[in-house]
Structure 1
């Protein structure tokens, strides 16, 4: 006998660009918004009865309609959307809204240039029991040319990796941090967390990427008291020294090949002692 398990549905990756035209100094907000609704929705799966199904097209329209009233921060916008979807008193009992903000660099009063792949994000979940907010970022690419080693690791019959006393350490940070409450200065918290991640990476002598990850998570908790826990995913972007001996050349740590795959992937949560709440495991499983 089959039993319906956990389920949700929504509209993925609604592209939204808002231009604030208060005077000649325009402000550009570029977002990707995804919604996911859950609740008493078994009937549509089991019998095809759509009575309680709010169409995903309606969810998309709601994103644009609420954007007409302004987008202050992505956390606030996500809260407005999530609370809207659970306020109707229908079958929807929980709403999760994921908002990604794409960075643009100002060139003039009304001119902009897209700035790299680094993306700020927020994941907001609301239900009758309350709401919680997860902030974060993706695509923060960091590299140290020295100050990193990897030695003393376990070996077995298949180990061929030599020890490295001095190596390039590079990664593309994917981070999520859960706020303990909603009374938070969102922009200030993001700026502080971002700076903490960068400072910890650059200032930590790394004996392993795991050690660096923990230092980065700990630094975020120190810098942002409102954060209860931070989850980090750090791919190890390997740089291998090229053997130039066949060409009669030495290579004193100057010429490398940057390998894109396979790569090591280090993931962990660093939590404030005694922190309670929903935790980040649910969020990480879906990479939302």
Structure 2
């Protein structure tokens, strides 16, 4: 009988104050994002230990090698103080290597991170408005994610796989999208639309050609999730799409062209287009929409460099 095991701790949420500012990014024309003060560095961390080293705990109830998940939680929180970097991926790299250096019975592990976004409040100062350095508002919009897998290679600790992302987009474009000339049969009731509003949920994920660019202190080759967010929004704004498939393909092409260090990009999109409730008799541009029924269209795409 074979067995695959893993165990760990999820939802270790931490709020680190005054992390190293994020600076030295390469500017892109689709984004004004160039730096981040990191006065509040908030992350939800997951730790998953992999491998057979802990199998006796399952088969014999032998816990002598088991690192308690509560210990993992405390370890993550304490290491957040020691972290000297500025990015989510850098923090996960620091955590993973510290775990394996501290606990030799761990052969491999996976560290995941979800940004907990807070936006600085806008406050008046000398006749204008600036970002507060002390007051922040929790955001429920899109956020950055990352996953790093670590393994031992002799005395070395290496990242063996990774994925980064910006997820949780909810974007509505009022005009400039269409869906027509699709296959029709006796089951088809959907009318063709030469112009329609388009409301999508969207997750974007990517991988680097060289993972060192994701974790290096020099951020000139770092792909900032905020820049990905801005580029995705610019494409949606500019591009007249004939379907969601058409739209996310254009987003992928633009991302790969803009970031040569990006080896792969993938999307998961949902069609959440509202139902039309009423249209004004005086001006057809004035409409009232309502939420659609629960079934929704789901579209996926992955683009990789040759």
**TM range, smaller chain:** 0.7 to 0.9
SS in 2 for 1:65: helix
- For the pair 1:124 / 2:124, whether they are aligned, the reply is no
In the TM superposition, what whole-angstrom CA distance separates every residue of 1:24-59 from its partner, at most 9, and x where no partner exists? Answer: x98111211111110113333333332332211111
| Alignment counterpart, residue 101 of structure 1, candidates 91, 115, 118 | 115
1:103/1:89 CA distance change after superposition, 3 Å: closer
SS in 1 for 2:253: helix
- For the pair 1:67 / 2:96, whether they are aligned, the reply is no
Match of 1:47 in 2: 60
| Alignment counterpart, residue 188 of structure 2, candidates 151, 159, 170 | 159
Structure 2 Cα separation of the partners of residues 141 and 200 of structure 1: 14
Match of 1:252 in 2: 284
Structure 2 Cα separation of the partners of residues 173 and 124 of structure 1: 22
Match of 2:303 in 1: 270
| Alignment counterpart, residue 263 of structure 2, candidates 180, 204, 228 | 228
Q: How does 1:87-236 map to 2 (within 5 A)?
A: 87-88=101-102, 90-107=104-121, 108-129=132-153, 130-131=158-159, 132-181=161-210, 182-184=212-214, 185=219, 188-236=223-271
Match of 1:35 in 2: 47
SS in 1 for 2:97: helix
Structure 1 Cα separation of the partners of residues 45 and 17 of structure 2: 16
1:44/1:26 CA distance change after superposition, 3 Å: closer
TM-score of the pair, normalised by structure 2? 0.78
Calculate the aligned-residue CA RMSD, in Å.
2.5
Match of 1:283 in 2: none
1:54/1:255 CA distance change after superposition, 3 Å: same
> Higher strand fraction: Structure 1 or Structure 2?
2
Q: Which runs of 5+ in 2 are unaligned?
A: 21-36, 122-131
Alpha-carbon deviation of 1:81? 1.2
Higher mean C-alpha displacement, 201-210 vs 80-89: 80-89
In the TM superposition, what whole-angstrom CA distance separates every residue of 1:166-218 from its partner, at most 9, and x where no partner exists? Answer: 11112122111111221342765334322322222222211110111111112
The structure, 1 or 2, with the larger RCO (C-alpha pairs under 8 Å, 6+ apart) is 2
In the TM superposition, what whole-angstrom CA distance separates every residue of 1:84-106 from its partner, at most 9, and x where no partner exists? Answer: 23335744222111111122222
SS in 1 for 2:213: coil
- For the pair 1:8 / 2:21, whether they are aligned, the reply is no
Alpha-carbon deviation of 1:260? 6.3
Alpha-carbon deviation of 1:157? 2.8
Q: How many residues align?
A: 266
In the TM superposition, what whole-angstrom CA distance separates every residue of 1:64-86 from its partner, at most 9, and x where no partner exists? Answer: 11101135211111001112233
- For the pair 1:261 / 2:303, whether they are aligned, the reply is no
Q: How does 1:237-248 map to 2 (within 5 A)?
A: 237-243=272-278
Structure 2 Cα separation of the partners of residues 46 and 134 of structure 1: 33
Structure 1 Cα separation of the partners of residues 38 and 51 of structure 2: 40
Alpha-carbon deviation of 1:17? 0.6
Structure 1 Cα separation of the partners of residues 224 and 260 of structure 2: 9
Structure 2 Cα separation of the partners of residues 115 and 8 of structure 1: 32
Alpha-carbon deviation of 1:271? 1.2
Structure 2 Cα separation of the partners of residues 233 and 88 of structure 1: 37
Q: Which runs of 5+ in 1 are unaligned?
A: 274-288
